[in-house]
Amino acid sequence: MFLILVLVLVAAIYYYGTRAFDYWEKRGIKHEKPLPIFGTNLKQFFQRASMAMMASETYRKYPNEKVVGFYRGTKPELVIRDPEIAKRILVTDFQHFYARGLIPHKTVIEPLLKNLFFADGDLWRLVRQRFTPAFSTGKLKAMFPLITKTAEKLQVITEDIVNREYYDVRELMARYTTDFIGECGFGINMDSLNDENSLFRKLGKRIFERRFRDALFGALKFIFPELCKDLHFLAPELETTMTHFFNTVVKERNYKPSGRNDFIDLMLELKEKGEMVGESIEKKTNNCEPEIVKMELTDLLMIAQMFVFFGAGFETSSTASSYTLHQLAFNPDCQEKVQAEIDMVLEKYNNKITYDAIKEMTYLEMAFNEAMRMYPSVAYLIRKCTSKKYTIPEIDLTIDEDVSVIVPIQAIHMDEKYFREPMKYDPERFTFGAKDDIRNFVFLPFGEGPRACVGARLGQMQSMAGIASVLHKYTVEPAACSVQVPKPDPAGTVSEGFVGGLPLKFRRREKN
């Protein structure tokens, strides 16, 4: 009897773990043969490859296809290889793909994931509408003195690592961006530059660290979404810490805007305006018009926005700026051009890193864009079909609601079909005329469409200011342990990291 029960259980698990594996075969879409339960995503579940690495691997295996099938657990997904289809998903037919699709069970969302990056539907739309003004040109200019202050502090700290055998530039820039986010976001001196073991640096590391518990819960939520809907992706200490952090700051301000014009002030100002009100992206009236929806900006929602502002704000910018410095170390001719431009521009601004000065550094921007092409901080985009049925006209393929679509940014950026000699670091690709020749939707470092990164300009300006502050006084060189093509971290989640960091040698510049 016991043996029969075991056989029945095994048969039930096998059926559950294979029941959807004819999805792409029925539609004539090429794909790898899936494994029961794990689909074609075994390596990512076992932390042998990140989601970005899996998307890139799938992209490269089928060079002649416009789309490729994939199974994340038992869930069918579609990897896009064609820029025109990517444009359709991200922009043209956005109303059918407004969901990010990063949360397997759409009715249960853990508190910290109710943020601008992870949220879907009306929650996303109302939060996006409310928070977009925080990243306007006026706001960016107003907060730039904080960038200047942190960049100058970065120069002082860099002096301490000059002539060491090596220092991880990834860690250095993460300390810089953490300090900046603390100043401009929350009016707090996080002191990560002076103390690499500061509380906030540890918090930042934990957000993007993928421990066994995180990998297990993440895999279970994708493989058994209904059974595991109450499991949290994020470690419980993150919610506890962010809640304490928020409550401490707003209590000091007596729950009112303080006049600092930072991110906390912005949220408190928005809360004073009352409910968030806007047109629904999910619900229609009997006349097929969008319903008007309302939502309160609760403390819980503000904590979630603070979490993503802190996490995404320091992580993506530090990855982009450190990888730019890494490439410049291995391409000294490009570094010399960047330094010559920095020297020339800053001379006009009394050697002060200002908003206008950074805007004039066009070659630095080209160098930054080329680094972002080779190693975008967020290496893939994911969208979930929100319509009952949707047909991709270019290939006459119909997919169902809840099927996720992946745009593998890094793989597209490194495709020689779109970028000649893609492994070569060449900022000249982004000169004024040449940049216009780059096809639409093959360079997507900040995403595209209504869900493109809302803080893209802030992130770029923050990164460029940090790079300029370092290269104005120092030169970066490969260390004995440096590798030109660093190995991506297979435990990466949303943002990409590097195994062993990015060790470089810093040398004080000898100016004439």
Please enumerate, by residue number, every residue annotated as part of a binding site for heme.
Answer: 453
- DSSP secondary structure string for all residues of 285-347: -TTSPEEEEEE---HHHHHHHHHHHHHHHHHHHHHHHHHHHHHHHH-HHHHHHHHHHHHHHHH
The contacts of residue 433 (CB under 8 Å, 6+ apart) are: none
C-alpha 147: how far from chain center? 21
Rounded to 5°, angle at Cα 243 from 241 and 248: 95
Q: How far apart are alpha carbons 475 and 169 in whole angstroms? A: 12
Is 459 strand, coil or helix?
helix
Please tell me the total number of residues recorded for the chain in this structure.
Answer: 512
In angstroms, how far is the first alpha carbon of the chain from the final one? 88
Q: How far apart are alpha carbons 209 and 231 in whole angstroms? A: 18
Q: In the numeric block, which tokens belong to residue 425? A: 């670091």
Q: Is the dihedral of CA 251, 255, 256, 260 positive or negative?
A: positive
Beta bridge partners of 498: 488
**How many Cα atoms occupy the beta-carbon half-sphere of 112 within 13 Å?**
21
Going by C-alpha positions, the residue among 129, 467, 465 that lies closest to residue 270 is 129
**Binding site as annotated, residues:** 453
Rounded to 5°, angle at Cα 324 from 322 and 328: 115
Q: Residue 388, exposed/middle/buried by CB under 10 A (0-12, 13-18, 19+)? A: exposed
Q: How far apart are alpha carbons 283 and 386 in whole angstroms? A: 12
Residue type for position 176: Y
The contacts of residue 330 (CB under 8 Å, 6+ apart) are: 425, 478, 482, 484
